[in-house]
Amino acid sequence: MSKEYQYIIDDMHAELEQILNYWTKFGIDNKDGGFVGQRDFYNTVVPNADKGIILNTRLLWSFSAASNYLKSSKYESVCDRAYTYLKTYFKDKVYEGVFWEVNHLGIPTNTRKQVYAQAFAIYALSEYYKFSKKQEVKDWAITIFKNLEKYARDNKQAGYFEAFNEDWTPIADMRLSEKDMNAAKTMNTHLHVLEAYTSLLEIYNDKTLKDALVELIILFQNKFINDSGHYDLFFNEKWNRLSNTISFGHDIETAWLVIEAAKAIKDDTLLKETQVTAIKVIHAFLLEGIDQQGAVMNEKDTVSNKLDTDRHWWPQVEALIGLKYGYTISKNIDYLQKSKKIWNFTKKYLIDKENGEWHFRVDAMGLPYKQENKVSMWKAPYHTIRACIIMNQ
């Protein structure tokens, strides 16, 4: 890496501590247990907010990953707290898997089985097992994996269906969130199943798991990627594309996660193929997804050419990781130059120096949306902590 790039690495190492300190101070719910469900833009806690599985699994992953990276037991109590809350309140003791949402007292309010959520549970448990070495943690991760293979995997058309009822029966509305399309199969869910299986394979050397991960890599190489260097997002059960939207953040995140999956299965041919794809994706990303300031924009509709120029917090750091991978492959110095612009923008506009943590998003002028939360179902430190770790490796 270039010496002038080193300040990004140093900044992000320092930022890791800032993020961990924020969540240790403001994330813990000392009244009802676990972690608070919501803090607003001004960092004020929202009383009795529901608690979501995505926030809670991402917190377990984040503090476990940071502990493993730092080789420290400083955050052991936070890791244990996150695991205990998941096991006590989100674990389905009847049908297995994890619930989507509970209220502030831990009573389930949404018991649907979203495959995206099961994937994050596997991801978090795998990382926590690496830290804690508790056999029950590994066993639970394996059980969720087996349930996904039993209920969610499409053995006819390949891939995984999006969601189910509490008892794993089909559900009419499969959407991950209100802004998503009601599609049988989505790139986003497959991405995080791939991410989870990659991590699980590190602690569970199983042929069925490895075969499933190979199939996922091939799907990303053959089904999700399109000729323009973007990953298509929504499909029906027969893999007919349903959407014309480009998600710039998901593009660059997917490029490096698929490479990691190929490394995990130790297939040199597939690894080289995923690296070629990554460079293609990075080229399209740099051409279309960032502005002159270096900010990563949100989405684009390829039919209307309408561009969503909001700058969300997480695509900025996924871009830094993706470009680091791209530089490792190609030694293209432009990737480092673009990274500097992205990080400079992020430091100036997205890190909240007044209230702590990062803004959820800012507009094209760099002004934050004050209706967005600092802590919520979808606002967790997973993307940022992961980036801080990877950029320092």
Confidence of residue 6 (pLDDT cuts 50, 70, 90): very high
CA distance 62 to 79: 9
Whose tokens are 């969130």? That residue is 177
Give me the mean pLDDT over the 327-347 stretch: 97
Task: Give percent above pLDDT 90 in the chain.
Answer: 98
Range of the structural domain that residue 230 is part of: 3-390
Write down the pLDDT at residue 2.
Answer: 77
With a cut of 80, say whether residue 1 has pLDDT above it: no
Give me the mean pLDDT over the 224-241 stretch: 98
Write down the pLDDT at residue 178.
Answer: 84
With a cut of 80, say whether residue 378 has pLDDT above it: yes
Write down the pLDDT at residue 230.
Answer: 98
pLDDT tens, 171-209? Answer: 999 999 888 899 999 999 999 999 999 999 999 999 999
Write down the pLDDT at residue 35.
Answer: 98
With a cut of 80, say whether residue 163 has pLDDT above it: yes
Distances (CA, A) of 275 to 6, 76, 272, 279, 330: 24, 36, 5, 6, 9
Q: What are 217's two structure tokens?
A: 């890599």
163 burial (CB, 10 Å; 0-12 / 13-18 / 19+) is buried
Confidence of residue 253 (pLDDT cuts 50, 70, 90): very high
Cα dihedral angle (326, 327, 331, 337), rounded to 10 degrees? 120
The CATH number linked to 167 is 1.50.10.10
Asked whether the beta carbons of 25 and 344 are under 8 A apart, the reply is: no
Write down the pLDDT at residue 152.
Answer: 98
Q: What share of the chain is helix, strand, coil (3-state, %, to 5)?
A: 55, 10, 35
Confidence of residue 144 (pLDDT cuts 50, 70, 90): very high
pLDDT tens, 106-133? Answer: 999 999 999 999 999 999 999 999 999 9
> The whole model's pTM is what?
0.98
Write down the pLDDT at residue 179.
Answer: 82
233 burial (CB, 10 Å; 0-12 / 13-18 / 19+) is buried
Domains contained in the chain, number = 1
User: Per residue in 92-122, is it b (16+ CB within 10 Å) or e — as a string?
Assistant: beebbbbbbbbbbeeeeeebbbbbbbbbbbb
Give me the mean pLDDT over the 274-279 stretch: 98
Asked whether the beta carbons of 310 and 362 are under 8 A apart, the reply is: yes
With a cut of 90, say whether residue 353 has pLDDT above it: yes
